[in-house]
Amino acid sequence: MFEPRIEQHFIDSADLKYQAAQVLSKPISAAVQAVLECVTNGGKVLACGNGGSAAYAQHFAAEFVGRFERERPELGAIALTADSAILTAIANDYDYSLVFSKQVRALGQAGDVLLAISSSGNSANVLAAIEAAHERDMIVVGLTGKGGGKMNAVLRETDVHVCVPHERTARIQEVHLLALHCICDAVDHQLLGEQDNKP
């Protein structure tokens, strides 16, 4: 009964990924370069987002601190979405729009990278985190869709913008996950070299 609808989701997702491959390969490659420079110089990646993007921030941090597909030394990454005490304290005592920016100011250092994930590009707390990252001389890697939203206005030329060319949140998020996996794979490839049967 639901099979045709389910199959259409697979087709739509595959079509977008195929169409976006050339458009996004350059900014994702630039994101890899920024992250590589950060971690090889002893820096860390701070990752943030809301909802599904919060889960992706944690997913990315887990793959950096633990591993992606191969064993390697641990890489520094912190998901700013994971500490419920910090999140609720800042939201309660200040404002929810500050839950990430205050953490960036506390933890971020020059040379670190902020991974800022927002499907719309309009999340106020993510935008505030970007401004805080700039204050700390951090590079920002922004993952958005829907044209990039307000993030277009706050990203600098030295930052990286991976903007999925689509309007539907589910499709954007699916490509965001693929982009994060591409970053992890390329970092591992650069640090560890070639591996049999891998791209």
Report pTM.
Answer: 0.96
Is 196 strand, coil or helix?
coil
Residue carrying the six token digits 């990752």: 47
Strand partners, 183: none
Domain 43-192: give its CATH code: 3.40.50.10490
- Residue 48 in 3-state DSSP? strand
SS3 43: coil
Q: Which residues are annotated as a binding site for Zn(2+)?
A: 59, 63, 173, 181
Residue extents of the structural domains in the chain: 43-192
Gap between the Cα atoms of 66 and 91, Å rounded: 29
Binding-site annotation, residues: 50-52, 59, 63, 92-93, 123, 173, 181
Please write the tens of the pLDDT for every residue from 20-35. Answer: 999 999 999 999 999 9
CB atoms within 10 A of CB 97: 16
Place of tokens 């597909």: 69
Q: Which pLDDT value is given to residue 105? A: 98
* Share above pLDDT 70 across residues of the chain, in percent, rounded to a whole number: 98
Q: Among all chains, which residue has been given the structure tokens 């002893």?
A: 42
- Mean pLDDT for the stretch of residues 67-93: 97
pLDDT at 195: 73
Residue 198's pLDDT is what? 56
What does the pLDDT look like over 148-189, one tens digit per residue?
999 999 999 999 999 999 999 999 999 999 999 999 999 999
Task: Summarize the annotated binding site for substrate as residue ranges.
Answer: 50-52, 63, 92-93, 123, 173
